[in-house]
């Protein structure tokens, strides 16, 4: 987008876009979706580029990039569907919790291995009774006499938790009498004995997969605690800002592809002796969608710039997440209409974009919750 990126930012966005076109490809992402397969091969390619370490400082072995750089990467990673972007974004934004809140021992254990692609991270906040109201977390963790944590309960919708070598950053209740201050985060490897993880047959997220997790007196060492006891809410609030900013970038990337695909089809497809493009009603629909994509992109860039500059920006991040996800949904719906019957086939990709768009207004905080955050900043709540 002219004038909104400097030369090096534009070059970075172009680099990741080219990588997606040449090294990952839409066909590969479609195949992973159809087979409900985690994109291991692509994840490894991204690790080889060093991009998993984009947000880590150079001292930590990373690239020292900022949230704006990361959001641009998310935009390109999302171009062929949000699910693929999620396979890279969920581990990377979750890993940053180690950098921000981890002990030196946790950093030594996890950061290099993560940047090299040897381990992944998932974030597990949601539960059957704790969705939008995440502070209603009931999964209980108590320390035994040795200091080990004993964890029991059920987590839900933990994306990527069933993939190989994944460490789950899990929000748990450590104090029943303190709603927000009674929450903590534990780092639990997904091969911990007693952990039961089931990939769910969801409408979206076929490839990364989302899961339910059962814990019955699962034992993890004292060293699994991230930050302090009772710091869970602070960690999760900080986490969600980075998550929302980057996923909004990926929504915009995918929304742009949905519009561009529909525009291309409207030029190729002939009915009544004319290109579909010649029907003004379709042209206007697509002009509306492109305008929305541009507006969403500007909201995302504003939020990401503010976050990169360490300015308070929860309102701007919520606006970007809200408008980005709703725009993706509208663009995928319009794409379905313009592509007609063909849109129903996997090879048209539009039905996949639509499925992912439906999840985008739910995951990471629903559209209604984003509006509540925005309204609070307007002193209406």
Ligand X SMILES: Cc1cc2nc3c(=O)[nH]c(=O)nc-3n(C[C@H](O)[C@H](O)[C@H](O)COP(=O)(O)OP(=O)(O)OC[C@H]3O[C@@H](n4cnc5c(N)ncnc54)[C@H](O)[C@@H]3O)c2cc1C
- Residues lying near ligand X in the complex (CB under 6 A) are found at 90, 123-126, 131-132, 157-159, 202, 204-205, 210, 359, 362-366, 368-369, 372
Closest approach, Cβ 87 to ligand X, in A, equals 11
- What share of residues in the chain are helix, strand, coil (percent, to 5)? 55, 15, 30
Closest approach, Cβ 324 to ligand X, in A, equals 16
In the bound state with ligand X, the residue whose beta carbon lies nearer, of 43 and 68, is: 43
Looking at residue 207, the DSSP 8-state letter turns out to be T
Closest approach, Cβ 217 to ligand X, in A, equals 22
For the chain, how big is the Rg over CA atoms in Å? 21
Burial group, residue 303, by CB count within 10 angstroms (0-12, 13-18, 19+): buried
Handedness of CA 145, 149, 152, 153 (dihedral sign): positive
In the bound state with ligand X, the residue whose beta carbon lies nearer, of 90 and 296, is: 90
In the bound state with ligand X, the residue whose beta carbon lies nearer, of 204 and 327, is: 204
Handedness of CA 276, 282, 284, 286 (dihedral sign): negative
Closest approach, Cβ 367 to ligand X, in A, equals 7
Q: Return the beta strands (E) in 221-316 as ranges.
A: 225-226, 270-271, 274-275
**Rounded-to-integer distance, Cα 244 and Cα 256, Å:** 18
What are the Cα distances from residue 137, in Å, to 39, 142, 173, 241? 30, 14, 6, 19
Closest approach, Cβ 351 to ligand X, in A, equals 16
> Checking DSSP bridges between strand 270-271 and strand 210-220, what pairing results, if any?
unpaired
**Rounded-to-integer distance, Cα 345 and Cα 148, Å:** 51
In the bound state with ligand X, the residue whose beta carbon lies nearer, of 71 and 370, is: 370
**Rounded-to-integer distance, Cα 343 and Cα 333, Å:** 10
Closest approach, Cβ 77 to ligand X, in A, equals 16
Q: Comparing C-alpha atoms, which of 231, 212, 208 is closest to residue 97? A: 231
In the bound state with ligand X, the residue whose beta carbon lies nearer, of 167 and 286, is: 167
In the bound state with ligand X, the residue whose beta carbon lies nearer, of 306 and 354, is: 354
In the bound state with ligand X, the residue whose beta carbon lies nearer, of 83 and 292, is: 83
Minimal CB distance residue for ligand X: 131
User: For 196, what's the count of Cα atoms within 13 Å in the CB-facing half-sphere?
Assistant: 7
In the bound state with ligand X, the residue whose beta carbon lies nearer, of 120 and 289, is: 120
Closest approach, Cβ 271 to ligand X, in A, equals 36
Closest approach, Cβ 132 to ligand X, in A, equals 3
In the bound state with ligand X, the residue whose beta carbon lies nearer, of 204 and 262, is: 204
Closest approach, Cβ 224 to ligand X, in A, equals 18
What are the Cα distances from residue 17, in Å, to 36, 66, 213, 345? 24, 18, 35, 25
Do 219 and 168 meet the contact criterion of CB atoms below 8 Å apart?
A: no
Contacts of 1 (CB under 8 A, 6+ apart): 294, 297, 298, 301
């Amino acid at each position: 987008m002219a004038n909104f990126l400097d030369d090096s930012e534009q070059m970075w966005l172009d680099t990741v876009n080219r990588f997606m076109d040449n090294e990952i490809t839409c066909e590969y992402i479609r195949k992973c979706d159809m087979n409900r397969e985690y994109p291991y091969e692509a994840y490894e390619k991204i690790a080889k580029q060093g991009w998993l370490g984009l947000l880590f400082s150079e001292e930590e072995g990373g690239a020292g990039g900022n949230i704006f750089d990361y959001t641009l990467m998310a935009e390109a990673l999302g171009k062929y569907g949000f699910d693929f972007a999620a396979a890279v974004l969920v581990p990377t934004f979750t890993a940053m919790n180690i950098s921000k809140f981890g002990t030196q021992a946790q950093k030594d254990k996890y950061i290099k291995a993560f940047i090299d692609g040897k381990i992944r991270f998932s974030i597990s906040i949601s539960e059957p009774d704790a969705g939008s109201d995440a502070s209603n977390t009931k999964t209980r963790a108590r320390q035994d006499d040795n200091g080990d944590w004993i964890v029991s309960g059920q987590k839900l919708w933990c994306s990527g938790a069933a993939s190989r070598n994944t460490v789950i950053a899990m929000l748990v209740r450590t104090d029943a009498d303190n709603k927000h201050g009674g929450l903590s985060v534990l780092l639990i490897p997904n091969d911990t004995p007693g952990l039961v993880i089931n990939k769910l047959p969801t409408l979206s997220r076929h490839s990364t997969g989302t899961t339910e997790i059962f814990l019955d007196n699962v034992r993890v060492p004292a060293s699994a605690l991230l930050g302090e006891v009772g710091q869970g809410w602070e960690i999760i609030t900080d986490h969600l800002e980075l998550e929302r900013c980057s996923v909004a970038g990926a929504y915009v990337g995918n929304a742009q592809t949905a519009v561009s695909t529909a525009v291309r089809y409207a030029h190729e497809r002939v009915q009544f002796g004319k290109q579909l493009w010649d029907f003004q009603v379709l042209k206007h629909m697509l002009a509306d969608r492109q305008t929305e994509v541009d507006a969403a992109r500007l909201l995302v860039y504003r939020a990401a710039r503010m976050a990169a500059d360490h300015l308070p920006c929860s309102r701007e991040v919520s606006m970007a997440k809200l408008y980005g996800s709703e725009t993706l949904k509208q663009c995928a719906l319009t794409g379905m209409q313009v592509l007609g019957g063909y849109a129903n086939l996997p090879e048209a990709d539009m039905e996949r974009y639509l499925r992912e768009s439906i999840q985008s207004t739910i995951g990471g905080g629903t559209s209604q919750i984003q509006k509540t955050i925005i309204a609070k900043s307007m002193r209406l709540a």
